[in-house]
Homo-oligomer: A and B are copies of this chain.
Amino acid sequence: MAGRRIGRLKGTRMLAPALNADEIAKLLHEVFPQAFYDGCGLILESVEYARIRVRRRFHEDYLRPGGTISGPTMMELADFAMYVAVFSAVGAQPLAVTTNLSINFLRKPAQADLIADAKLMKVGKRLAVGEVTLYSDGSEEPVAHVTATYSIPGKAN
């Protein structure tokens, strides 16, 4: 377990994130410049152990027929949020890959920033499983819900 223990709460271990937001942003700039670059519109708003929040700035390129944000825009954001959540729990594992992702689209998103709230439900030796809830900025009702599994190659060696 890469996280640093910082306390105890209700019988569970409170862990500090394995990497903080600045460390993760620096890592992403280095290893994934296609997705994470200055002006890409992705902002790491909050990084705790196994729980992170990412904002995706609105851009009209994301629109699809009906004036709503496209499904792939939401899937990409959720997948990215899971990737960051994995780093928050197990540290720098850029070769972690999604093995399964399932999304339910719940409501038509507004033409506004998207917020992704990702939480890992399991951090195993080889697999991490989590859920991501997506919101339109300023709304409390989710626009989509995702569950995903990441395979962590470094942990298996």
Contact = CB atoms under 8 A, between A and B. Distances in A.
Copies in the complex: 4
A29 interface: no
Main secondary structure of the interface of A (DSSP, over half): mixed
Interface stretch (A16-24, A92-100, A110-118): A92-100
Contacts of A12: 140-141
A104 interface: yes
Contact of A145 (B72, B98, B147): B147
Interface of A: 10-12, 31-32, 34-35, 61-66, 68, 70-72, 75-76, 79-80, 94-95, 97-107, 121-122, 126-127, 129, 131, 140-142, 145, 147, 149, 156
